Structure 1
Amino acid sequence: MYHQTAVHASPEAKLAKKVERLLGPGAAVPKDKGVYTISMAAEFVGTGAQNLRLYEARGLVEPERTDGGTRRYSEDDIARLQRIARLLDQGLNLAGISLMLELESENADLREQNEALRTARRRAPG
C-alpha cells in the first residue's frame, strides 16, 4: 500500500504562493503596497484577525483599503505587526506600544534631519 507523506509548508511559503497566484510568478511588490488580506497578515504574524482589527482601531497600523473596504496589508505593515507582537510578548500593553512606536518614528525622523544637516554642512563652502 502506498502512503503519501504530508509536507507542511511554512506560513511564509504559503503566503508566497498566494501572492504569486494573485500577482503572477516573479512579480515584485513594493514593500509599502497593500497586497495581503487580513487573514493572510494574521497568519503571517501568528495572531488572529480580530487582534489586527483592534490594532487598527488603536491606531497602531493603517492598512490600505480596496474600493470595497477590504483591508490590504503591505510588507511594511506586517513588519510593524510583528514588532507589535514582540512588544506584547515582552509585556508592554497597547498604550505603551503606541507610545514606543511613536517615539521610534520621531527618532528616525530626527536622525534623517540630522544627516541632512550634516550633508549640507559638508557641502557648504568654507
Structure 2
Amino acid sequence: MTTPSDGQGSPLPPGAGQDSPVFVISIAAELSGLHAQTLRSYDRLGLVSPGRSPGGGRRYSARDIALLREVQRLSQEDGVNLAGIKRIIELEQQVDDLKAQIAEMADEVLAAHAAAEQAAAMVHQSYRRDLVPVDRRSQIVVWHPKPQGK
C-alpha cells in the first residue's frame, strides 16, 4: 500500500486532501527543504499563509508545501526577489480565479442554450398539424365564384 502524496513527494495522512492543513512547521520545513524560520518569514510577508491550529500553531497543507518549493525555486534558480514572488503568486491566483469564473459562465451558457432549445422544441410541438407548407416560388391564384343567376 502506498501513502498518498501531493504529487511532489509530500506524504499525506489518510483522508487528507491537498488543502488540508496537517503539517506542523518542523515537518513543513523538512518537506520543503527550507528552515522553519524561513517559513515564518514567508508567512509574515504573506507569501505562504498556512492554516492555524486551535492553539494558534501553523499547519501547512500539501499545497502550501508545493508553494514553498516554488517560492524557493523562483528565488534561487530564477533570481526573483520576494516582492516579485509575492506578485507572481497573486497573479497566478487571479488567473486561477478567472479560469474558474470562465468555467462557471460557460456552464451557465450551456444550460441557457439547452433551455432555449427545449423551449423552441415545445413551441414546435404546439403547432397545428393541419398547416401545409407553401412553396413561395409558385403563383397563388385567388378563386372568386361566379355570381349565380347571371
Runs of 4 or more off by more than 3 Å in structure 1? none
Determine the C-alpha separation between the residues in 2 that align with 1:73 and 1:115: 29
The one-letter amino acid of 2:15's match is A
Equivalence for 1:30: 17
Equivalence for 2:97: 109
Equivalence for 2:49: 62
Larger relative helix fraction: 1
1:60 aligns to what SS in structure 2? coil
Match of 1:40 among 27, 36, 40: 27
Determine the C-alpha separation between the residues in 2 that align with 1:73 and 1:122: 38
Aligned-pair identity (%): 41
Q: What are structure 2's unaligned runs of at least 5 residues?
A: 1-8, 118-150
Q: How does 1:1-126 map to 2 (within 5 A)?
A: 16=11, 27-89=14-76, 90-124=78-112, 125=116
Q: How many pairs are equivalent?
A: 105
Q: What are structure 1's unaligned runs of at least 5 residues?
A: 1-11, 21-26
TM-score normalized by the length of structure 1: 0.75
TM superposition shift of 1:69: 2.1
Higher relative contact order (CA 8 A, sep 6+): 1
* Superposition CA RMSD, Å: 1.8
Which has the greater radius of gyration?
A: 2
TM superposition shift of 1:68: 2.2
